[in-house]
Structure 1
Amino acid sequence: MFSENVGTSMTQIDPWDKFRHTLIEVIDSDNVTRRELFQLSQSKTGKVTDGKSYFKALYEHFEYKRDAVVEFLIHLTTKTKLHLDEGTISVPSILKEYTEQLRYTEKEERLKRENNWSKCDLIGREEEIQRAMDSLQNQRMKGVWICGLGGMGKTSVADEVCGRLLRETSNWRILKVELREQKHMRDLVRSTLILIGELLMTSFREELSDGDLEYTSKSNEEDYFEDLNQNSWRQLLIQKCCESSDQNKLFVFDNMDDILVSHEGDLMNFLNKLVNMLIEAEEDEMHQGKTRFIITSRASLPSTLTARDLRDVFDEVILKELSDQQAMLLFKQELTQQNIPCVK
């Protein structure tokens, strides 16, 4: 279950509850889906009559172990190829993403309970860490772009910044989205929405304010997301990021490389829109909490026209090669951690 630090506003919502209620509505309103799910689940549920009794029977069969229920539903909906919202949303894909984000959240909570957020010794990176800390706590700045060659420690620096923020004050929610090998904007949007508690099981059109975001840089039909869902999800993500909250939010978009290569213009347009709306929201005297971002990638913040405004509110932190002395200290540290004797 998502912890108390995972949610989108003062009212914490477990995305599993949203999924369960949505699937109950589908079962109760779609005779074909209901008949197929009930037939394939009969050995687990026995005879059931509606969505509510179906989930009750599943919970009883799996002894109220949610993980087991979710795994069964992933297998079941994969077999039935269940999609929602006119075929645009794959139910098993959503459930798989939910379980992945859930595992990450539980790991982070365990680390905090075990006090493993203690300060680590990142050799040769103190200046970069402090600069990132200062920028994230600067009211004018909205984020930090950490860049450098592979293996330079970008993720480690981002993690250390998160740890220090949590040690200094508990009023931060850290939402880390792993984007390694993710090539499309929809991957970023979907993963982030799922992490903050939106399962994308409906179109959200009724939740949105008037007007949808328009994106004119769609050049690849495969990444088009033809209907309004992708724009709606982007708008929903922007709204969630800009929501007033009693906690500060820090989104960490780790390993942005592939999306930056494939859809740089689209990404910059989206980030510009997000930042502009965030600035407007935080200027409201009634707004509570702040939202900040850490982005890591090999490439630096683009110098294109669309990225120009971002440079005013994102601090670029470039990780350079360690000195020979620092590299030797790091090597000795690795040997010590692996209990390998160091020859002097």
Structure 2
Amino acid sequence: MIYLDHAATTPIHPDALEQYKRTAETAYGNSSSLHDAGDDALRLLNQARAQLLDWLQLTEGNILFTGSGSEANYIALSHLLRQSKKTTVLTLASEHDSVLLPLKRLARQTVTINLLPTGEFDWNAFREACTDDIGVVSVQHVNSDTGFVFPVAEIAAFCRQNNILVHCDGVQGFLKQPVCLKDVDAYTISSHKVYGPKGLGAVYLRRPLFSPYYESHHEFGIRPGTVDVPGIAAFLMACQRYRDENQKIQASSKRFRGMLKKRLPSTRYQIIESPQQLDSICAIRTKQRDGQFVLLALNRAGIAVSAGSACRAGENGPNATLRAIGYEDSAAHGLIRLSFGRTTTTEEVNQCIAVLCSLEESD
């Protein structure tokens, strides 16, 4: 199988897998226990929090570990809404479902704004929507469907001046795209997007105060359950390796994008990209076929891609990000997403291009 779906999930890095095994064998104590085995686990846990804060270039607040990036978003949003005491949230129409779906329950009102047709952040629409009713703004670091990059630092600075709390979903951008979080109140990340183990995420909170569940004894009383210290150690190892490799990944991804733009026939395919773009996510609009048809044709050829966020797999509705940049519903059905990783090769991308071109010839 040629795997071109690294934005959905990544295989665990061999060094992270080895780190998990080593930590599970040597630091297996409960980090809340009072004996030496618990102290050993707690020491590793605190080191992991400090390391993530350092990589995020933050000096205040704290890191809570969660069961996923989606849970991290839920904790962040519920936390900020309680802290704000206002019940209206402003967000993007292109946000991930792990933001939009919780807001249906958590917020009394959710205001969504579209993007510019170029995929860029619409500052005029944003400023107009930032009324006195807005308590929280939630904005993606990087869009999961297309790789659009948003000006998080500037958005957060504007919100700070207007006493609005800011959540940033960093699941697709963490370690891949630089970001300044000085004015951000909550930032969420996920292990399996950077070659760490699945079932593990984290949330940075400037002021960790409230639990969305019930008062507990773990993670500052915010998230119940014994902390997965071996998984966290593996996550941190994966992060370190990704930091070492990201520049190479993005450089090769830029070359792969160039190959796709040059060789795919413009009568059938359109590369969707923004002036501010993460190269390792490449969205392609299929002009004359449904995106899921193309996805399944590639799968039959042994090539794994997606038709947008994996959390929407099986749903055949119009893509929300394409709609947010102005496409009609009929056109927004035609999207596939290629996402490149540390082991993606030129030959693999060439084979994908050949299959996409063969679909045109078979019409």
The two structures share one fold, judged by TM-score above 0.5: no
TM-score, scaled to structure 1: 0.30
TM-score, scaled to structure 2: 0.29
Of Structure 1 and Structure 2, which has the larger fraction of its residues in strand? 2
Q: Which has the larger radius of gyration?
A: 1
Of Structure 1 and Structure 2, which has the larger fraction of its residues in helix? 1
